């Protein structure tokens, strides 16, 4: 995927810094970026994992910077969200699987997603649009007072 990006943006090769790494290990520079974008990449993370990642994304943005995320939010209510979470926890305990990162969809409701982004420090968080199972959120990092 990154090879394709590099070939499509060959005219900007000297400005691209492409990194292959685990989100929770790669170091993000402090207050460096105007914009961070994530596409279809966060739906396997639980609340705590998202909160820690969003806090790090927020720290890497300059004041008034934006974080735009599009991802699968297939549930309309927090009840449905809890059912997914329960199924996940049941499967883990039945198979004696330790906490970690797994390929299991943990869709958030729109309210929960807004909540975790706000708790990470973004304000305002705007639910831009929903397309079937996919939603787009635009979040701003406030300027420091």
Ligand X SMILES: C[S@@+](CC[C@H](N)C(=O)[O-])C[C@H]1O[C@@H](n2cnc3c(N)ncnc32)[C@H](O)[C@@H]1O
As measured in angstroms, the least distance from the Cβ of 8 to ligand X is 13
Site map (CB under 6 A) of ligand X, residues 72-101, x = contact? -----------------------------x
Applying CB under 6 A, among 23, 33, 47, 104 the residue interacting with ligand X is 23
- In this chain, which stretch among 21-29, 78-86, 112-120, 134-142 interacts with ligand X, using CB under 6 A? 21-29
- Does residue 5 touch ligand X according to CB under 6 A? no
Nearest distance from C-beta of residue 100 to ligand X, angstroms:
11
3-class DSSP state of 29: coil
Report the relative pairing of strands 125-131 and 33-39 from DSSP bridges: unpaired
Per-residue HEC secondary structure of 41-78 comes to CCCCCCHHHHHHHHHHHHHHEEEEEEEEEEEECCCCCH
């Amino acid at each position: 995927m990154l090879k394709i990006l590099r070939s499509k943006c060959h005219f900007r090769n000297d400005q691209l810094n492409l990194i292959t790494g685990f989100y929770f290990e790669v170091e993000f520079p402090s207050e460096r970026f105007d914009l961070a974008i994530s596409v279809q990449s966060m739906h396997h993370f639980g609340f705590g994992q998202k909160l820690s990642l969003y806090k790090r994304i927020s720290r890497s943005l300059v004041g008034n910077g934006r974080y735009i995320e599009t991802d699968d939010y297939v549930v309309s209510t927090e009840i449905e969200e809890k059912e997914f979470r329960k199924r996940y926890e049941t499967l883990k305990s039945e198979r004696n699987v330790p906490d970690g990162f797994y390929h299991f969809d943990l869709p958030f409701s729109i309210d929960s997603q807004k909540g975790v982004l706000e708790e990470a420090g973004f304000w305002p968080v705007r639910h831009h649009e929903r397309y079937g199972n996919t939603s787009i959120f635009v979040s701003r990092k406030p300027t420091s007072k």
